[in-house]
Amino acid sequence: MSSEVYDLHCHSTASDGALSPTELVRRAHRQGVTVLALTDHDTTDGLADAARVADEIGLKLIPGIELSATYANQCLHIVGLNIDPEQKDLREGLATQQAIRDQRALKIAEKLEKKGIKGAYPAVSQAAGSGEITRSHFADFLVAEGYVVTQQEAFDRYLSKGKPAFVPTQWAALDDAVAWIRSAGGVAVLAHPLRYSLTHKWMNRALSAFKQAGGQAVEVVTGRASADDIQLSMQFALRHQLHASVGSDFHTPDNQWVELGRLAPLPTNLTPVWALFD
């Protein structure tokens, strides 16, 4: 039995995480993680710094990414593990994703301005720095300006689907997102299958399409997964003959419910995704 402690889904300041890649890797190490994948949204910009500190402290870093993809007008998140971040097809795909993300940010800011909330775009641009602008940056802005008390309230009142500042977005097609990951030598993983609030029938259709496109794994153990959640995700993996991944989806130390490496064991009847790593 492997003595490794895996966490294959987390975020840094390169996208919507609170910690720099260096701080993130050091925290993972303190939490006992021995194999970590940094999977920022639509960017690999944090990987070089993360790899340097991982080498220094003896943690194995898996280069990763989390891509937003569209399937049947639904946004799905596809994690890529063990990728070559410099591969041409992936680089071109990320440039497209980043342009879509920038346009979405401008539209969100415009919608907020129509609600009397000014100055959002300059503020989130500054907060993101060289990283990707995400809806979490807008949520933080709304908290800082006193329009809401918590980030969750910002989503509930302004940023979620059906709310005043929600912007429907056509991301890369599912087939394309998976193809970019596979072209970069990576393993494509459907992230947190229970977080989309979709029916089981719909998710089974999506997983069938995902596997047909070249997807190889599904996240079974996530940061806030209950025992029942893990059992349901396990059934998805078994039904579609997919490998199983584990990941906290850590973003910030302020969330007491999600911590790097604090994950339930992977069910023993599943084949772990790291069996696919070279």
pLDDT digits (tens, 9 = 90+) for 255-267: 889 999 999 999 9
Task: Kindly report the number of other CB atoms within 10 A of residue 115's CB atom.
Answer: 12
| Residue 166: inside a domain | no
The CATH number assigned to the domain holding 58 equals 3.20.20.140
| Residue 164: inside a domain | no
Q: pLDDT value at position 1?
A: 42
- Looking at 103, 127, 159, the residue that finishes a domain is 159
| Together in a domain, 192 and 74 | yes
Query: How many domains is the chain partitioned into structurally?
Result: 2
| Together in a domain, 212 and 133 | no
Task: Say if residue 196 is exposed, middle or buried (CB neighbours under 10 Å; 0-12, 13-18, 19+).
Answer: middle
| Residue 234: inside a domain | yes
Is a pLDDT exceeding 80 seen at residue 83?
yes
| Together in a domain, 217 and 259 | yes
pLDDT digits (tens, 9 = 90+) for 61-79: 999 999 999 999 999 999 9
Task: Show Cβ contacts of residue 224 under 8 Å, excluding neighbours closer than 6 positions.
Answer: 257, 258
Q: Give the integer Cα–Cα distance in Å for 208 and 231.
A: 19
Q: pLDDT value at position 63?
A: 98
| Residue 1: inside a domain | no
| Together in a domain, 65 and 143 | no
SS3 246: strand
| Residue 165: inside a domain | no
| Together in a domain, 109 and 181 | no
Average pLDDT over residues 222-250: 97
Q: pLDDT value at position 197?
A: 84
Q: pLDDT value at position 111?
A: 97
- Looking at 136, 159, 182, the residue that finishes a domain is 159
Q: pLDDT value at position 2?
A: 58
The CATH number assigned to the domain holding 151 equals 1.10.150.650
CB burial string 65-92: b at 16+ within 10 A, e below: bbbbbbbeeeebbbbbbbbebebeebee
- Looking at 130, 159, 188, the residue that finishes a domain is 159
| Together in a domain, 150 and 200 | no
| Together in a domain, 187 and 153 | no
| Together in a domain, 73 and 107 | no
| Together in a domain, 48 and 180 | yes
Q: What is the pTM of this model?
A: 0.92
What mean pLDDT is reported for the chain?
A: 95
Range of the domain at 179: 6-86+174-276
Average pLDDT over residues 125-141: 89
Q: Per DSSP, what are the bridge partners of residue 44?
A: none
| Together in a domain, 145 and 197 | no
Q: Give the integer Cα–Cα distance in Å for 229 and 220.
A: 8
| Together in a domain, 208 and 261 | yes
| Together in a domain, 57 and 34 | yes
